[in-house]
Structure 1
Amino acid sequence: MSIMAPAAHRKLTGLVAATFTPLTNQGEINLSVIGPYIDYLTETQGVKSVFVNGTTGEGMSLSVEERKVLAEDWCLKGKGKLDQVIVHVGCTSLKDAQELARHAAQIGVDGISVIAPSFFKPQNAAELRSFLQEVAAAAPNVPFYYYHLPAFTGVNVTARDVLEGIETFIPSYRGVKFTGFDLTDMGQCVSCSRPDWVVLYGMDEQLLAGLVLGVDGAVGSTYNYVGRHMNELITAFENNNLIQARKIQFKLQELITFATKLGFNVGVNKRLMAELSGLHLGPPRLPLTPCAAVLAENLTEKFHSLFPSEQ
């Protein structure tokens, strides 16, 4: 079933788009959009790595089979165009997560990621590490990334504690996708990381703060449609042009703050991406509900007021 030949491990850096899952109006997976989606990311936004079946992709609302089909299609159509395809395989069921991890290895993904189970929750770092270890062992030769998202999982264990001695438990460990506001915890993850590990920040509105603390890259939903601007932010930071970097960061903060006051969730974000990219992404899957047309219009107008060159 190999679709992409396994490549030597490459350090995952820069922007990674957390991809939306295209659905038909009837709520079924719409693979016909994946090819144009990849072209939009790489050619318009300058983003060449993706994180598939995560929160933005409604992965926890998809069946195991649907997640496999999506992973395969992103790998197949991304070959030669995308630098890295990271697939989230986390589930509340250990067996399902292991099945997805084995499948990801078979199709040659560049990495797998796992979030903490959120119904029966691990009570401490040791329990969470044990769960992650069992999933990683199903694909021992695939780079492994822990997906830290306590606001959604309710697992309030610091990422730094999870990473304590993790290379002993998970030899394939290569990094953490840190999505949270605790900059102290994230900073400690950076501090304890080995040279071949990465810390990827998941709070788009605070990317600049993450760069100051030494993150290697970022995974986020907004990079689907503001990727080129955030690449400019990274370049400005690397050139010590903090005034320009802050200017770009403040614009994204204003957009997200505006959207949040209107009820910014994955469904709304998905509609905004569709409006800006022209891709038919379809509705979200229940329990998320479609974004109202007037809300989409307000968000689109706000976006263009902040990033007028996009019109």
Structure 2
Amino acid sequence: MAPQRKLRGLVAATITPMTQDGEINLSVIGQYVDYLIKEQGVKSVFVNGTTGEGLSLSIQERKQLAEEWVDKGKDKLDNVIVHVGALSLPESKELAKHAAEIGADGIAVIAPCFFKQVNKDALISFLREVAFQAPGIPFYYYHIPQLTGIKICAEELLDGIKDQIPTFHGIKFSDRDLLDFGRCVKKNDKGQFMLLYGVDEQLLSALTLGATGAVGSTYNYLGKANNSMLEAFASGDLSLAKKYQFHTQEFLSFVTAQGFSVAHTKAVMTLISGIPMGPPRLPLSSVSEEFIAKVKAKWESMKHCPCS
């Protein structure tokens, strides 16, 4: 296995740009990469996940997006992690093999979310089958039980998983259950796993427990403020770190009150970055002009953080 950069700090869960006709728009990925690095200070990405509408895309579309992110991120991004989870085991294995072949820095897999009566052993068997298709790169479990309906605790999965999946490197923990997350941290006493928290508005709480990084959609446009929070926390200035967390929470609370889905995320990113993200794919619907106007006014009123 080639040396890998540790997956720490902020990881942007990337949006899939689409044309008005609903086709994936690869032409803006290069601009997207440069924006994340220069404007947000984010140098790692998580492609084809929930924010990227991964399960609404065809296998071929997912491959094309992975290829474009790896190509445009070469020598610029620290990590391109490709989500390869699917309802079908053969499709997930195909995507994992493809990700390894194109030079992705790691793969991640969500629990299959149609047949939900899955126990720990069956889930690990599924994950192992996928991971074995990419034996030379890190493997991450994507834990998001509110969407999958799979209620197996992440802490329970950590027991013996490295013996079953030698390439296992950690968890993208997208759940508000800080008890489960804390138990994961306790089991990570030797620092053998990357514990990446995925609920952006609670990141500071997860950092105090021992999160090693974070994966989230809002780091696409709030990366700069969150990086400042990480710096304040690392320097021991908890008071300043809280100011940054409260600042991002204020914006997210406002947006969430209007309704917050992948469609809203695409609209917010388009507004803030200037990069056209296009509409979501059906059955998701585009947001209203009223939503965009309200968010624009809120953003203009607080885009310069008074935290420091």
TM over 0.5: yes
Corresponding residue for residue 3 of structure 1: none
Superposed displacement of residue 236, structure 1 = 0.6
- Whether 2:279 is the aligned partner of 1:301: answer no
TM-score where L is the length of structure 2 = 0.96
Corresponding residue for residue 63 of structure 1: 58
Counterpart amino acid of residue 202 in structure 1: G
Q: Deviations over 1:37-70 (max 9, x none)?
A: 0000000100000000000000010000000000
DSSP 3-state at the match of 2:294: helix
Q: 1:99 aligns with which of 94, 98, 106?
A: 94
- Whether 2:215 is the aligned partner of 1:219: answer yes
Gaps of 5+ in 1: 1-5
Identity of aligned residues (%): 54
CA contact (8 A) 2:2 2:136 kept: no
- Whether 2:159 is the aligned partner of 1:183: answer no
Q: Deviations over 1:206-236 (max 9, x none)?
A: 1100110111100000000010110000001
DSSP 3-state at the match of 1:308: coil
Q: How many residues align?
A: 305
Q: 1:108 aligns with which of 90, 103, 106?
A: 103
CA 259–225 in structure 1, closer or farther in 2 if over 3 Å, else same: same
Q: 1:47 aligns with which of 28, 33, 42?
A: 42
Counterpart amino acid of residue 218 in structure 1: A
* Counterpart Cα distance in 2 of 1:306 and 1:122: 45
Superposed displacement of residue 306, structure 1 = 2.6
CA contact (8 A) 1:11 1:197 kept: no
**Large movers: runs of 4+ above 6 Å:** none
Gaps of 5+ in 2: none
Counterpart amino acid of residue 97 in structure 1: S
Answer with 7-16 or 232-241: which moved more. 7-16
DSSP 3-state at the match of 1:181: coil
Q: 2:263 aligns with which of 255, 262, 267?
A: 267
TM-score where L is the length of structure 1 = 0.95
Q: Deviations over 1:131-159 (max 9, x none)?
A: 11111111112100000000110111100
Corresponding residue for residue 167 of structure 2: 172
Counterpart amino acid of residue 100 in structure 1: L
Q: CA RMSD in A?
A: 1.3
CA contact (8 A) 2:9 2:212 kept: yes
Corresponding residue for residue 138 of structure 1: 133
Counterpart amino acid of residue 224 in structure 1: N
Q: 1:258 aligns with which of 250, 254, 262?
A: 254
* Counterpart Cα distance in 1 of 2:184 and 2:297: 38
* Counterpart Cα distance in 2 of 1:109 and 1:196: 21
Superposed displacement of residue 309, structure 1 = 5.9
Counterpart amino acid of residue 179 in structure 1: S
